[in-house]
Amino acid sequence: MPAAYNKRRPFVMRLRPALSLPGALLLFAAAAHAAAVPAPRPAAAHPTLTAKHVSVTLLIPPRQLYPGETFAAGLEFQMESGWHVYWINAGDSGEPPAAQWTLPAGMTADSMEFPPPQRLPLGPLMDFGYENQVVFPVPMRVAANFHPSASEARIAAHLTWLICREVCIPEKGDLSVNRTVLGAAPAVSVADPAAQALIAHFENQLPKPLPSGDSARFRSTPQGFVLDVQTGFRELTAQFFPLDESVIANAAPQPAKPLARGVQLTLIRDQSLQSPPRQLNGLLELPGGAAYLIHATPGSLPQSIGIGGSFGHLAGILGFAFLGGMILNLMPCVFPVLFIKGLALVQSSQQERRHLRVHGWIYTLGIVVSFWMVVAILVSLRAAGRQLGWGFQFQSPIFLAMIALLFFFLGLALAGQFEIGLSLTSAGGSFAQKQGFAGSFFTGVLAMVVATPCTAPFMGAAIGYALAHSAAVSFAVFTALALGLAAPFLLLAYFPGWARLLPKPGRWMETVKQAISIPIFATAIWLVWVFGQVAGITALGFLLAAFLLLAIAGWFLGHWPGQRIPSIVAVLVLIAAVGVPIWAVQQFDTRNAGAVTVIGRSNAGAPSVWQPFSPALLARERAEGRAVFVDFTASWCLSCQVNERLILDSPEVEQKFQSSGVALLRADWTDQNPVITQALAALGRSGVPTYAIYPADPSAPPQVLPEILTRGIVLSGLEALPHTTTIASAQ
């Protein structure tokens, strides 16, 4: 580890004056990478020191010392809830732990190594440290000429640390352990596997040097610095922890912008900094737990934000978005809405020919405006540091309930229970004409809403590109996507000769309208199933009760059409129907993402097990020489469910999964999950379905499959893997 990272300060409690102000010591948890470690506890033979609010254990895994031996020791800190110790740079207050070693002659210990810290807000200040549990690995070496006279050797450490909550308590203590000494390496080494696993878990989190060929640069601004870091992949967010004190304002936000192969951070300088540093040293932590040591020098890196390098490239992306929007009309999510618009077109083609173009543009406007609203939300949240992707609305159980109620109510109207226009208004013909234009607009809105759980071919790359670039590019790409979705109906409105091919109005239209209610009800059933997956069975019962209220409201509207009192009663019942599932979600939401899903069986009858996705598991599988197939999916994504049932569950593909030895990971994006969002962004995608095959070689890029799968596409992707990487069967 670079010397700057191991620089120590004298163990003197360093507290800024502001820390004594009342209310400035409120402590909050942060950064999910410090979650509890599932490794087994080391054996009781390791000495433990119990102090106020913390226990410290000296982990020395080997039971024997012999010439030429190298191993990793560890200092484990177990803190009471709410208490913390500090990183190498403690931030605005505090001191890191330190150890002085007493070792036998011929044995040496390197400096303590510090895993990535958490951000610990303290009122207006920010500290860097650890809560709950942390292990500081310590590399140790035994010299080749190690020959102590005694049969046992003593390993001892004098420790000092500062533990804080509302108050800070300096502590110190001594730990030691004896180990058997051998004259040569034994045939079989004896060690504590639990201690080794615990140390290895935290060693895997230690920051690494930047990948070969990548670099870090910074440039000074009147407020601070702009830091550009190349990591090899597009990164949407990152956190920078400075190794040097009093360089940046630790508590200030760090807005991030994606680069083609990295990330750009805007940092605010510390008020006490007199001149820009010659080097900006620190730790860059990425979503998912990856961390890099950086030593940025003054200068700039080539950036790829905005239009992505060339107008031609942007034009190609816009073309993909437009084509993807057109194909989206054929997806099962959108097709029921087109049934409704097609029926309206049959009516207007004979009765309101001169208004066809107006209807077409109003329908287009409804789609475009609703797309703009979504991209505005996405861009705003991205600017605030949040990561969301295409279809994020369907991660909300309340949104799912509202759209399910809308489809069920629409199905009741189409099935003939009531007439929406006649029941809700008794206005004259001129108002009915306005109602028709409003209907075209909101049909466009509805088409966009139900399109969000789908990702058509060509859409994935376009949307991923849009959400990784500037707001102007995002709006341009989503506008092209909206125009593609609206294009078929708009073209028909502009070429009324095509409308003459449609049959004349007649009694058959009532039959067709009632038949259209079937796919509408089918869509409502699917939305109910998705709602149950997200919110739980109890909330699902209340949603079904809301459906009953809708049916009652529809009965009032159909039995007494246009009458004031029944219409008022119907509106009150509708309000109750909307309120019931909202209340149920708030009371009974039981979302629990991350469960292991087991699907399908091969011809041999052995199940194919899909493990829940995590970056650590993906890296571990590849490190063990195994290629990985990742299914990015969601319960609300109808295309995902079709691909899984018809393609991934098919005996032919299941058999190929097993014979190829790929590990199967499922990234369930039903609920918002920033880790999965980051993994999608690294692939250049921002929505599901997405399918990626990662070769065992970590340096090899993943292969991203099309959104609509066939057996041939999956089998060809697996065949393209090097045979040397698929050495283990998926378990």
**Residue 133 scores a pLDDT above 90:** yes
| Within-domain flag for 731 | no
What's the maximum distance between 2 C-alpha atoms anywhere in the chain? Answer: 108
**Residue 9 scores a pLDDT above 60:** no
| Within-domain flag for 554 | yes
Using one digit for the tens of pLDDT, what is the confidence trace for 515-554? 767 777 887 887 788 788 777 788 888 889 999 998 998 8
Answer with the residue of higher pLDDT: 589 or 221. 221
| Within-domain flag for 346 | yes
| Cα dihedral 560, 564, 565, 569 sign | positive
pLDDT of residue 449: 66
Which residue among 241, 267, 298 closes a domain?
298
pLDDT above 70 as % of the chain: 72
Shared domain check, 643 and 500 = no
Residue 426 Cα distances to 418, 432, 512, angstroms: 14, 9, 25
Shared domain check, 524 and 386 = yes
pLDDT of residue 473: 77
Instruction: Give the Cα separation of 635 and 19 in Å (integer).
Output: 48
| Cα dihedral 602, 606, 611, 617 sign | negative
pLDDT of residue 669: 81
Q: How large is the average pLDDT for residues 71-80?
A: 96
Instruction: Give the Cα separation of 725 and 700 in Å (integer).
Output: 11
**Residue 22 scores a pLDDT above 60:** no
Contacts of 584 (CB under 8 A, 6+ apart): 535, 538, 539, 541, 542, 543
CA quadruple 115, 116, 119, 120: dihedral, nearest 10: 0
β-pairing, 107-109 vs 133-142, is antiparallel
Answer with the residue of higher pLDDT: 214 or 252. 252
Using one digit for the tens of pLDDT, what is the confidence trace for 180-193? 999 888 888 888 98
Highest mean pLDDT among 153-162, 318-327, 687-696: 153-162
Which residue among 206, 240, 261 closes a domain?
206
pLDDT of residue 304: 43
Q: Is 334 left (phi over 0), alpha (psi -120 to 50) or beta?
A: alpha
Please state at what angle helix 459-467 crosses helix 311-328, rounded to 10 degrees.
130
Shared domain check, 687 and 657 = yes
Shared domain check, 240 and 365 = no
| Residue-averaged pLDDT of the chain | 76
pLDDT of residue 37: 36
Where residue 463 falls among pLDDT bands split at 50, 70, 90? low
| Within-domain flag for 412 | yes
Q: Domain containing 178 — which CATH number?
A: 2.60.40.10
Where residue 25 falls among pLDDT bands split at 50, 70, 90? very low
| Within-domain flag for 211 | no
Where residue 420 falls among pLDDT bands split at 50, 70, 90? low
Which of these, 282, 222, 226, lies nearest to 259 by C-alpha position?
226
pLDDT of residue 403: 74
Q: Are 212 and 263 in contact (CB under 8 A)?
A: no
| Within-domain flag for 303 | no
Which of these, 133, 138, 127, lies nearest to 88 by C-alpha position?
127
17-25 own/partner pairs: CB under 8 Å, 24+ apart: 18/123, 18/124, 18/125, 19/92, 19/93, 19/122, 19/123, 19/125, 21/123, 23/123, 24/122, 24/123, 24/124, 24/125, 25/122, 25/123, 25/165, 25/166, 25/167
pLDDT of residue 370: 82
pLDDT of residue 341: 57
| Cα dihedral 509, 515, 517, 520 sign | negative
| Within-domain flag for 305 | no
pTM above 0.85, yes or no: no
Q: Domain containing 677 — which CATH number?
A: 3.40.30.10
Shared domain check, 577 and 465 = yes
Instruction: Give the Cα separation of 16 and 1 in Å (integer).
Output: 29
Count: domains in the chain: 4
Shared domain check, 344 and 361 = yes
Shared domain check, 107 and 140 = yes
* Owning domain of residue 261: 216-298
| Within-domain flag for 306 | no
pLDDT of residue 181: 93
Please state at what angle helix 471-494 crosses helix 429-451, rounded to 10 degrees.
130
Shared domain check, 193 and 272 = no
Where residue 175 falls among pLDDT bands split at 50, 70, 90? very high
Residue 512 Cα distances to 127, 215, 332, 389, 444, angstroms: 66, 64, 19, 37, 21
Alpha helical stretches, state H, 249-334: 311-328
Shared domain check, 634 and 507 = no
pLDDT of residue 244: 92
Which of these, 98, 114, 75, 74, lies nearest to 282 by C-alpha position?
114
Shared domain check, 339 and 234 = no
Which residue among 187, 206, 225 closes a domain?
206
Lowest-pLDDT range, 204-218, 271-285, 434-448, 687-701? 434-448
Lowest-pLDDT range, 329-343, 475-489, 585-599, 686-700? 585-599
Shared domain check, 242 and 140 = no
The number of beta carbons lying within 10 Å of the beta carbon of residue 707 is 26
pLDDT of residue 110: 93
Using one digit for the tens of pLDDT, what is the confidence trace for 502-512? 555 556 656 76
Shared domain check, 398 and 543 = yes
Q: Which backbone phi and psi does 650 adopt, to 5 degrees? A: -70, 145
